[in-house]
Amino acid sequence: MREPFHPSADSLDLVAILAALSDPTRLTILIRLAEADAAIRCGDFTDLATKSNLSYHFAKMREAGLVSLRSEGTSRFLALRRNDIERQFPGLLDQLIASAKRMEDKPLNSQSAAPTDAAESKPQRKRV
C-alpha cells in the first residue's frame, strides 16, 4: 500500500495540532496510543467509528503530524510521533494527554447547579 505523506518534524503547526485534537474521537485515539506506548493496529479502533470514518480521522492526525502510519501485511499501524512533537513543542503532548485523561474520567455529565437560564449546549454531533 502506498505510504502516505507525513509532515516533517519542523513543519509542525500548532493550529493544526490543536484542530486535530478538538474532536472526541481523535482525543480517544490519542489516549489509547499514549497508554499503549506503542503502535496500535488501525483495526483496533473499530469500536469508535466506521472504517471509513476512522480512515478520515487517522488522516487528520497524520496531516497534523501527530501520528505516523505504516503498513504491515494487510494491516496498518498507528504510532504517536512523540519525539517530533516534543522537539517542536516541549511538554505540550504530555500535558494534552494528561488533560484528555482527566476529561474522560469525568465525561462532562456532572451538570453542576441547575442551569435554568437557557445555558448554551454544544450539539455533540453524531448521526447524519
Least distance (Å) between residue 105 CB and DNA: 21
Does position 11 interact with a copy of itself (CB under 8 A)? The reply is: yes
Q: Which residue has the cell 497534523?
A: 64
**Nearer to a copy of itself (CB atom), residue 10 or residue 37:** 10
**Nearer to a copy of itself (CB atom), residue 60 or residue 76:** 60
**68 conformational bin, left if phi > 0, alpha if psi -120 to 50, beta if neither:** beta
Does position 107 interact with DNA (CB under 7 A)? The reply is: no
In this structure, what are the phi and psi dihedrals at residue 80, rounded to the nearest 5 degrees?
Answer: -70, 135
> What would the grid cell of residue 25 be?
474521537
Buried b / exposed e over 55-80, threshold 16 CB at 10 Å, is eebbebbbbbbbbbbeeeeeebbbeb
Query: Binding DNA by CB under 7 A: which of 11, 53, 83, 99?
Result: 53
Q: Where are the beta strands (DSSP E) in 42-101?
A: 67-72, 75-80
Does position 85 interact with DNA (CB under 7 A)? The reply is: no
Does position 76 interact with DNA (CB under 7 A)? The reply is: yes
With CB under 8 A as the rule, give the number of residues binding a copy of itself: 37
Q: Name the residues that contact a copy of itself, by CB under 8 A.
A: 5, 7-8, 10-11, 13-16, 18-19, 21-24, 27, 63, 88-89, 91-92, 95-96, 98-100, 102-103, 108, 110-113, 117, 119-120, 122
